[in-house]
Structure 1
Amino acid sequence: MAARKLHPLAPVLAFGGLAAALIAVHYLLPRGSGAQGLLYEAVGIASVVAVVAGLVLHRPARVAHLVLLALGLTATAVGDALFNYQQFVAGGASASSTADLAYVLAYVGYIGSVALVARRRHTAALSDALDAAIVTIGAGLLFWTILIQPIAADESAPVLDRIGSSLVPAFDVLLLVALAQLLTSSSVGTASFRFFTAGVAALLVPDVLYVLQTLHGGYEAGGLTDAGWMLGTTFWGMAALHPSVRLLHQLAPDRETRLTWRRLALLGGASLIPPVVALQHIDADATGILLVTLAASVTTVFVFARMALLFREHGRAVAELRDARAEAAAEQALRDSYERFESAATALECAIYEWNRDSDTMRWTTGLGHGPAAQRPQSWWEEHVHPDDLERIRWIDGASVGRASGPREHESEYRFRRGDGTYAHVLDRWVVSYDESGEAVRIVGGMVDVSHQRLLEARLQQSEKMEALGRLAGGVAHDFNNLLTAILGNAELLKLASPADPSWLEDVAEISRAADRAAELTGQLLTFSRGRVSHDVSAELDGAVDEMATMLGRLLGSDIEVDLVLRGGSRHVACEAGQLEQVILNLALNARDAMPQGGTLRIETSVAGPLARIVVSDTGTGMDEETSARVFEPFFTTKEPGKGTGLGLATVYGVVEHAGGSIFVRTAPGEGTAFELLLPWRDAPETASASSGTAAGEGTGSILLVEDEESVRAVVARMLESSGYAVVQSGSPLEALALLEEEPLPDLVVSDVVMPQLSGFALAARVAEQAPDLPFLFITGYTGTDDRPLGLERHPIVRKPFFADELVSAVRSLLEAPASRAA
């Protein structure tokens, strides 16, 4: 078990407690007894041991003051031993010779120790000398009048006794001057210094009491005076044992700017002593009056000199304080300005730098995540420029600093690494300063993070590309749907006119199925381009997913298992069936690419209150946080160049957003990926009662057919005529307007939407001015026409390609409606 470490204050407390106990016992013993003498001697010897122990334990850098103190205490202990021997062993023989010599040596040690400590408390100056002179004159005059002069005037005492007795107050004057220096110094305030000062004071007070008691015959050995001397040596021992004794010798701060109340009180008291003593000696002998007058005069001169110095020091201190306050205010203003500058740079997401030619370093402010301002080498900047941009930027920088006659302001854009390791697109603008010889000496510039702007520009470009692609797809779909309308229409007519030959009818049906599949491809093209606005109100969720199971199995391969968990029932979601299939297909293809070694694709549907919940998950490689955050960005892909367009998941996101739903992704590297879709429920559409082959019954009424495509116009006219309607054909909207000016008006106008010269919507608006009750039926193969102009909402749209029964049913519903014609 390791020994416990001794507390630093343990020696101080132990010695102080022991000495206090000895002093208390000493005071309680009979006065003047030998036991008291032994205890008095014991405290003195213990103090010597304490000072020596302090030197050994703490090893201060300067030891002269402590060595002199130890010698003084030792001399006192020797003198006490001689006194006790002569008093108690030699039968009361005179002890004023050898013992007094030891005491004189002790005072020499004390005065030397205190003087060294007092001298180290502040620097030497004229003001220090004046203060010491004022205190010395006042204290000397006081001690001469009260103590020394009465002893010297006692002619009954032997000369040697009078000289020895006079030395004690003389030494006390010197100690008092040193104590004054200690008390008035701006000390470091350590415990050791306070113990040391208390020891000096505890020695002076008993000395004065001893002399006064001796003069008036009142001194009693073993009383409070002896206890005071013992207390003084105890304080000195505690000062040496305290750990702060290492600082006792150190210089204190300059105290000229800290004229404390202690110094003022001490100087004031010392300057008043000579006049008071002079008043007491008005009737004294001429020598005494002369001495007092001289002391008072000198003190007055010193006081005026000290006041002059004080005013000068005060003025200097005020000036220094004013300068210090101005400097502090300037520094604070500079810090505030720099903080505002840093805050502005941070808010603007920019970094300010300054390059210096002499040091070839950059001063870099807080910016782009690189921490506080710092001085950085030029190589640091090059290490943070993207490798693909570095050579270009080096060339631009070299060109900008190499032409003093050229422009001083420059700018460039490149990629710069942020503090978190990611690259930012920065716009760097800098100004070059040249010396008289045309050499570049300084570059000051700023980098602005324009990554967000570049991202917005990329998204805008993507949006413009998608818009152009949508327009292109819409135009292609329009023409393609016109062709499909002609194909489906003729197939329908062939079916009606064909003989009852099963093989013949099967061939015609195959033509219809091929055209129908082509129409589905057109729909997928429009969905992919996002140019199509859904006209199907809903799709049965579980039915649509279940129908894709077989196709997904063939598409994903035998090494990927497809697991369906369908709990949505027969409810419908607010999404077109084709778009829903496109969403599931894109997510399944994404999962296949994430499982190159095979795995499980799980598709779950469930009810989540007012929303349908679809979860498509895989057991593939998963994605990190950075990739998953960008997974829905257009053109973002992790595949090799040429292996992916980056539009699959962007299309999924667009379809879900258009349907009013939400999509979330949960993934982690090595843990697979799960896409969760939330789509609104939608009521199931009413099932049409029309037959799947031809329109039931014969229709009646006249129809004006407006269609610019001749093949489509011909087949649509035959569809209507075969159902019993009288059809007048028009190849352009202007021709149709001319026909509508004749009487009688047709019962219905069937019009294409996108035509040269005039659109179907514009034609209907023109006709409504003269015949507002004439119904229109629009047929179109173009996307983006769901939003009919104001006033035309009541006219329905049939989209190409369509079967004959779809067209005839729409026509019959308009002609048979009670409000179709005005009475």
Structure 2
Amino acid sequence: MLKKPTYEELEQRVKELETEAIQRKQAEEDLRDSEEKYRTVLESSPDPIIVYDMDGILIYFNPAFTTVYGLTLEECVGKKMDNFVPDENWPETKMAIDRLLSGESFLGIETMRYTKKGDIRHVSVSGSTYRNSEGIPIGTIVIQRDITEYKKAEKGLRESEERLRAIFEASADPIVVYDNQGYPQYLNPAFTQVFGWTLGELEGRLIPFVPDDEKERISAGIRYLYDNYCGNGEALRVETRRLTKDGRTLDILLNASLIKGDEGVPVGMVVNLSDITEIKRLEAQLQQAQKMEAIGTLAGGIAHDFNNILMGIRGRISLMLMDTHLSRPYFEQLRGMEACVKSATDLTKQLLGFARGGKYEVKPMNLNEIVKKTSDMFGRTRKEINIHRKYQKDIWTAEADQGQIEQVLMNLFINAWQAMPGGGDIYSETENVIVNDDHIKHYKANPGRYVKISVTDTGAGMDEATQQRIFEPFFTTKEMGRGTGLGLASVYGIVKNHKGIINVYSKKGEGTTFNIYLPASESEVIKKRELKKGVLRGSENILLVDDEEMILDVVKEMLNSLGYKVLIATSGKEAIDICKKDKEKIHIVIMDMIMPDMGGNETCYRLKQINPDLKILLSSGYAVNGKATEMLERGCNGFIYKPYNMKQLSEKLREILDS
């Protein structure tokens, strides 16, 4: 029989039940609060959150799921949702589900899902299993973060990086990306091609290519960039120099900009290094050409005026020699004076050669004959030099001014002789050659057939620095009194004026070779008619045209002494007036080419209009390039170079009058 509880026991039991009820109520309230809190978290989460049972059936998802995928909870509850997984992503999704069902969790698996409209969304998926109070798995929770925009941005960044890399890789200019400590992080192919280093060789090292005298200036420029950085893309642009791996020095145009990091501070620097060595060389070449042109213009003007003065001196010496017997005590003095005039004339020829003037009578010629004649003449006076000759048979014809080519060869022979003070060997050679584009691209000449003349000596040779300057006017390595510095300058000017090429090969202690290429011609060599030697006289009427009174006086007296009758004109216009009046009486005109008002070219044209058969002998100490040749082609009959003596004048007159 059960014992009846006491009042106290009943009261205690009632109190316990009340306490339990209160606790249960509190637990229920706490559970509701917890559920509400977690529901609030779920509902407010921007990321889709899905709850499945252990069979993979969807139980719940939050509003963010609807926002991302366009599906409502009513459409999806009780379904497995396999159809919104793309086929290509199903294997990795299956593996993730298996991991969840086995009690594992996973974090941040990137995959793709379909929306209700069929669009693809990129998502980062994390999942875990939830359990009951007894620890038994009863479902899974999956969180999907929509990373579609991030993936687009990532793709855009990757494409941007690829574009930038492609630009860097394709750039013909060397490009370096540095970190803030100055260590290279990237070198494009052009850098390795130009400077020689690879990134692997420079790992953890500064690039050793800044010359010592450039370091402080470049460092100051880079410090300025960093100290004044404000993110506006300001760049350092400066001309500098850099060393290559093999020790060469290049002229460089440097452009440097800082790389802006995420926090707005520089994280490195990109540097573009344009190789401007060739540009600087061409600029120097242009400046040199302009300087040479200015000096050449001056030299031409000096030569013209100087030759007129020499004409007056040489003409009067020639007149005095005509009347002086060789037994007279001052005969040798006059011959000495004439030799001095000839030396001065040779100097003006050098000036004219450098100034690219003096090319008057251009005719087809056999260069073998010219080279042999000049070398023989030189060899007779230089017995300590052995001259070796090798001439091509059937040498092509070249059109040139014989006097100037002889001047070129004599200058080269003298230059070779001076390089061998103790004697030696000179090798002169001719050859027919075909010159192609590759061979002449640096010489501004046309490809085709050329006659090559080579002069080689066994002398002291030249270093590279000397070779760079040998064609400059007044540059000489000889001691005072042994050279003017005009010889090779005139050689260069004459060859260029003949549209030819000249180059030099030399090594210290191993001699020197000069190669000259003159354009070949299809014309045939014209045999020169042999004249009687000596002073030849005549009786014809001559019209002498010159604007210099000194020239008129001395040449008229020379002509009179030769038996000619002379009419004088001080200008082209006066010459035309005299010719109109006495055109039947005038047998030949001796005319200066350079005169004020009406020049020689126009005067010649007008005289030929008056009398097409009129013979004209051109005379000048300097003519504008090509004018003499042009006038000879238009009907003038010959050319005589000032200053000339009685013998030269008489022979030239008879050559034309008797033809």
Amino acid at match of 2:546: E
Change (3 A) 1:438 1:725: farther
What does the per-residue CA deviation read over 1:672-697, in whole Å, with 9 as the maximum and x for residues that have no partner? 5555666789988755644544223x
What is the alpha-carbon distance in structure 1 between the residues aligned to residue 322 and residue 296 of structure 2? 37
Please tell me whether residue 736 in structure 1 is matched to residue 562 in structure 2: no
Native 8 Å contact 2:545 2:591 kept in 1: yes
Offset of 1:800 from its aligned partner?
Answer: 0.8
Among candidates 758, 765, 772, match of residue 605 of structure 2: 765
What is the alpha-carbon distance in structure 2 between the residues aligned to residue 779 and residue 439 of structure 1? 78
Q: What count of residue pairs does the alignment treat as equivalent?
A: 499
Offset of 1:391 from its aligned partner?
Answer: 3.7
Change (3 A) 1:780 1:407: farther
Change (3 A) 1:612 1:354: closer
What is the alpha-carbon distance in structure 2 between the residues aligned to residue 440 and residue 325 of structure 1? 26
What is the alpha-carbon distance in structure 1 between the residues aligned to residue 109 and residue 335 of structure 2? 118
What is the alpha-carbon distance in structure 2 between the residues aligned to residue 362 and residue 444 of structure 1? 10
Offset of 1:493 from its aligned partner?
Answer: 1.8
Structure 1 segment 625-640 matched on structure 2, within 5 A: none
Structure 1 segment 443-454 matched on structure 2, within 5 A: 443-454=269-280
Among candidates 474, 477, 495, match of residue 303 of structure 2: 477
Offset of 1:325 from its aligned partner?
Answer: 11
Offset of 1:500 from its aligned partner?
Answer: 7.1
Change (3 A) 1:736 1:462: same
Change (3 A) 1:571 1:522: farther
Query: What SS does structure 2 have at the residue aligned with 1:547?
Result: helix
What is the alpha-carbon distance in structure 2 between the residues aligned to residue 782 and residue 411 of structure 1? 49
Which is richer in strand? 2
Among candidates 631, 636, 649, match of residue 807 of structure 1: 649
Among candidates 784, 791, 809, match of residue 624 of structure 2: 784
What is the alpha-carbon distance in structure 2 between the residues aligned to residue 720 and residue 550 of structure 1? 35
Amino acid at match of 1:577: E
Structure 1 segment 360-759 matched on structure 2, within 5 A: 360-366=182-188, 367=191, 368-372=194-198, 380=206, 383-399=208-224, 401-403=226-228, 408-431=234-257, 443-498=269-324, 501-533=327-359, 535=361, 540-549=370-379, 562-568=385-391, 576-589=405-418, 591-592=419-420, 601-606=424-429, 608=431, 614-618=454-458, 620=460, 674=513, 686=527, 689-696=530-537, 698-701=538-541, 703-740=542-579, 742=581, 747=586, 748-759=588-599
Change (3 A) 1:779 1:635: closer
Native 8 Å contact 2:356 2:496 kept in 1: no
Offset of 1:530 from its aligned partner?
Answer: 4.1
What does the per-residue CA deviation read over 1:112-144, in whole Å, with 9 as the maximum and x for residues that have no partner? xxxxxxxxxxxxxxxxxx9xxxxxxxxxxxxxx
What is the alpha-carbon distance in structure 2 between the residues aligned to residue 470 and residue 679 of structure 1? 22
Change (3 A) 1:763 1:497: same
Offset of 1:661 from its aligned partner?
Answer: 6.5
Amino acid at match of 2:299: A
Amino acid at match of 1:755: M
Compute the RMSD of aligned alpha carbons. 5.4
Offset of 1:394 from its aligned partner?
Answer: 4.0
Amino acid at match of 1:527: G
Offset of 1:447 from its aligned partner?
Answer: 2.2
Consecutive unaligned residues in structure 1, runs of 5 or more: 1-129, 131-255, 261-301, 554-560, 593-597, 818-823
Amino acid at match of 1:352: I
What does the per-residue CA deviation read over 1:362-392, in whole Å, with 9 as the maximum and x for residues that have no partner? 54532232444579799946x5233334444
Among candidates 776, 793, 798, match of residue 634 of structure 2: 793
Amino acid at match of 1:710: E
Structure 1, 389-398 or 723-732: larger mean CA deviation:
389-398
Change (3 A) 1:532 1:492: closer
Offset of 1:639 from its aligned partner?
Answer: 7.5
Offset of 1:525 from its aligned partner?
Answer: 2.9
Q: What is the percentage of aligned positions where both structures have the same residue?
A: 24
Native 8 Å contact 2:428 2:454 kept in 1: yes
What TM-score, normalized to structure 1? 0.49
Offset of 1:482 from its aligned partner?
Answer: 1.2
Change (3 A) 1:639 1:355: farther
Native 8 Å contact 1:425 1:451 kept in 2: yes
Structure 1 segment 343-362 matched on structure 2, within 5 A: 343-346=169-172, 350-357=173-180, 359-362=181-184
What is the alpha-carbon distance in structure 2 between the residues aligned to residue 633 and residue 459 of structure 1? 13
Structure 1 segment 115-130 matched on structure 2, within 5 A: none
Amino acid at match of 2:353: T
Amino acid at match of 2:371: L
What is the alpha-carbon distance in structure 2 between the residues aligned to residue 726 and residue 636 of structure 1? 45
What is the alpha-carbon distance in structure 2 between the residues aligned to residue 730 and residue 404 of structure 1? 79
Offset of 1:519 from its aligned partner?
Answer: 1.8
What is the alpha-carbon distance in structure 2 between the residues aligned to residue 363 and residue 388 of structure 1? 25
Change (3 A) 1:320 1:734: same
Offset of 1:799 from its aligned partner?
Answer: 1.4
Amino acid at match of 1:794: G
Structure 1, 318-327 or 422-431: larger mean CA deviation:
318-327
Structure 1, 633-642 or 486-495: larger mean CA deviation:
633-642
Native 8 Å contact 1:628 1:667 kept in 2: no
